[in-house]
Amino acid sequence: MNALEALLNPLTTFAEETRLTLANLTDAVGDLAVPTLRLGVTGLARSGKTVFLTALVHNLVHGGRLPVFSAAAGHRITGASLQPQPDDAVPRFDYEAHVRALVSDRIWPDSTRQVSELRLTIDFESASYFYRKLGPGRLHVDLIDYPGEWLLDLPLLTKDYAAFSAEALERARAPNRREIAAPFLEALAAIDHDAAESEPVAQALAASFKSYLAACRDDTHALSMLPPGRFLMPGDLDGSPALTFAPLDIPVDAIPTRTGTVRAMMERRYEAYKTHVVRPFFRNHFARLDRQIVLVDVLHAMNAGPHAIADLQTALGEVLGAFRPGKRSWLSSILTRRIDRILFAATKADHLHRSDHDRLEAILRRLVARAEETARFKGAEVDVIALAAVRATREATIKHRGDALPAILGTPLPGERLNGETYDGETEIAMFPGDLPQNPESLFGRADSISEETRPDFLAAQADLQFLRFRPPELDTTAEGLKLSLPHIRLDRALEFLIGDRLA
């Protein structure tokens, strides 16, 4: 990116692009010794980011079965180990604790709440005869784990407070959110935004706004468009003024107001949020990525109904619009880093029989169609898959009224319910989860035109679909008593797309 492009880029300033170029130059110098690939792992809440990263590392370190991952299938990986990460100021991804949770306790690890990092170093033999003669290869893979909700904040860098307020309130007053947002909208109606600024008023309105966002994310609604992203996962910023604001009912073209009022206070804190929260995330983490996987829990949205699906589609469009895709070259990686490969992955494919995996991929491809087209146009390679980073079920066939149905076997989590029965977390069951629609357009056609009157018909059409949450599997052991690597579905295909070419 040249100086003019930097000035025109709405997410960055010329000074920031200069700093990014210097950081990229430093990385490039380090790559002369051992090449490094920075892989971003993101997704909205409950999409399985922590599980994906843990399974990826576990399978590479322990030599898991990865038949589609050419470097592993060809026995060219001679070792994979964790190394100290390069960024001392970034929390380390707690791989060891997450493995214990999955393997020993058979519980799912805690969700991603902040940016974390892990360096995995892979030693390999090249597939090329020429490069093999030069000696063994080595690649550092820096895994950057961050909440997808934070990506929803990046578009805020291009919006002033009035525009943010108008969009947030338009969503809150939409038919599917109006009831959820009622307490917040009632509190908002009582605010005189031209009154003298007041900390108790700001705290009360911000708390009501955050409660509304949290209710939207509840499993009952499973909505995804919930910026600002840090409001639901504040970390060490909890209670800070930069996270104590809310939208006000002002015109979208309203100019900044005089100081000393509630509105001026909210505007000031909104700008502080962009300056001290959003920009550092973009500059220090997001803008330095080489490749990206976006995990999507399509089934969770389908469980919640048509509005959740439509909201997920909108959120993914916002998330993917923040990416900086492009072709990879040595010069461009120094001047301005571009994401040259993006993988969209529908998670929890083990909740379905394999005969439905293609349909799950088709639904996700429909969800990200516009963003995929944009990324390809800009030169990035894009793929869409259905996967389960940790496979919690097995497949079987069950008889029902004389018919043979494809089923899955697994142990539901404690408290999961199906057909009036509540499971204890110890009992394995066989169930037919139902079939996804053969034509994804039928699903989206209804979602696009859904109303409160037609919602029951939509839900009735989805009634045959039943998705439960299962416990992690009990790992098999070898004759020597060693536990095998975590089972998966298409983790090897994901690895091949994301890093396979760098191990060729």
Helix (H, G, I), strand (E, B) or coil at 478: coil
End-to-end CA distance of the chain: 29
Give pLDDT, residue 460: 47
State residue 7's pLDDT score. 33
- For residue 432, which of 456, 461, 459, 410 has the smallest C-alpha distance? 410
pLDDT at 445: 59
* Residue boundaries of the structural domains of the chain: 29-151+286-391+488-503, 154-276, 394-461
Strands (E), 107-171: 116-124, 137-145
Tell me the β-bridge partners of 405.
398
In this predicted structure, what is the pLDDT of residue 135? 75
Question: Model pTM?
Answer: 0.87
Q: What is the pLDDT, as a whole number, of residue 422?
A: 94
Strands 341-346 and 381-386: parallel
Mean pLDDT in consecutive groups of 10 residues from the start of the chain, 504 residues: 38 59 57 85 91 97 95 96 94 95 93 90 87 82 93 91 96 95 97 94 97 94 93 88 96 83 96 95 90 94 87 87 74 69 96 93 92 83 96 89 86 91 93 86 61 50 72 79 83 98 94
CA-CA distance, 359 to 346, in Å (whole number)?
11
Q: Which CATH superfamily groups domain 29-151+286-391+488-503?
A: P-loop containing nucleotide triphosphate hydrolases (3.40.50.300)
